[in-house]
Amino acid sequence: MQKWFEEGSSGIEDAPELTTWDRLAPSIAFAALVVGSCIGFAVIYNPPEPGDRLFPEISPAAATVATLIGLNVAVWGLWKVPPLWRFLNSYFMLVVGMPKPVSILTSMFSHQKLGHMALNMAVLYYIGNRLHDEVGRANFLGIYLSSGAIGYVSSLCFHAANVASLGASGAVLGITAAYFWLHMWDKFRIMGFPAEPSEGVDGVAFLVSVVIWNLAAAFAPSKVAQADIISHMGGLLSGIGLVHVFQTVFKTIPGEMMAARASATTAAAAAAAAAAAAGMAWAEMEATQAHDRDELASSRMPVSRCRTRHSSMHPAQNGETKLLTCGALTTRSRSKWIRENVQRSL
């Protein structure tokens, strides 16, 4: 296993000295290309006839969401293959100190912990299917991919060089925000609450709750504040902005959306939103404590040298810089190492 720890690291002691322009411009340009391509696709896309679809028995929403979930599961599986660590560290994780532009896109499909992925995919499943049914495949993918890309650009612009980030949270929060923005005055119940005669809680209340939970995470103690709040908020605000642009500028989303869904549907969507609000920051932050559990020791994966935001994982951060990687730290030694070395990443 030591062989893979060593090969997963580039041997570079410090991140290269780059000007702000050299570090940010390529990734920002790539993100702009992603967003522009998504908008262009939404404008020209015509959904195929049912008889022309590859799997006509599966709804378009289910096919799209299942494909996204499948890609995330596939990349999660690749993280379990040690010979691939160097490649994944280089291209499926955004490293602020020396970013690769393509990681703006690929990192949103990358998770290293099952809990982190499961939470994001659960919200994607419940919210994604409903948003897809309302806005169509092109608009849905445009919002999802663009929100993720803008979220990572936000992270790249605001975080220090010794921070790395991965996960689908920015993209998932983008579609969550878009859905409840379209239903901001519709009423939702969570498992029958609030009880009748109350009509429920406005969709905008769920948006506010997401913001509050992320702000709470941002001001949490340093030992638990591991979520990439900047990427989360960038994705959330992008989802609102993009659905507004698609609706008012390009007219690819009808100006008046359908009425509130049946109670079972709205309850499921509201529950998923609650999971996004109450769960994303909590689950990601709690997972950073994994070194205190036997799971980390049994995972036999390399441990991060820096504090990983937006990810709750600890493998080697990037095959291109030793600043964000390290050799094999045992579960017992990692707590001491963090106390001595990681405080500067706050």
Among the residues of 219-330, which ranges form H helices?
Answer: 229-248, 263-287, 294-299
Report residue 6 as tokens.
């060593």
Q: What is the DSSP letter of 100?
A: -
Distances (CA, A) of 18 to 12, 24, 29, 97, 325: 15, 9, 17, 8, 19
Sorted by sequence, the CB contacts under 8 Å of residue 49 that are 6+ apart come out as: none
| Residue 67 C-alpha from the chain's centroid | 16
Sorted by sequence, the CB contacts under 8 Å of residue 91 that are 6+ apart come out as: 100, 102, 103, 106
Q: Are 330 and 106 in contact (CB under 8 A)?
A: no
- The crossing angle, in degrees rounded to 10, of helices 169-182 and 263-287 is 150
Report residue 88 as tokens.
């994944």
Q: Are 55 and 114 in contact (CB under 8 A)?
A: no
Helix (H, G, I), strand (E, B) or coil at 170: helix
Active site residue 132: no
Helix (H, G, I), strand (E, B) or coil at 313: coil
Planar angle of CA 126, 72, 36, nearest 5 degrees: 85
Rounded distance between C-alpha atoms, residue 206 and residue 114, angstroms: 26
Of 232, 291, 310, 314, the active-site residue reads 232
Burial class (CB in 10 A: 0-12, 13-18, 19+), 101: middle
Active site residue 169: yes
Rounded distance between C-alpha atoms, residue 121 and residue 138, angstroms: 20
Of 9, 103, 155, 169, the active-site residue reads 169
Q: Are 227 and 296 in contact (CB under 8 A)?
A: no
Q: Could you give the residue numbers annotated as active site?
A: 169, 232
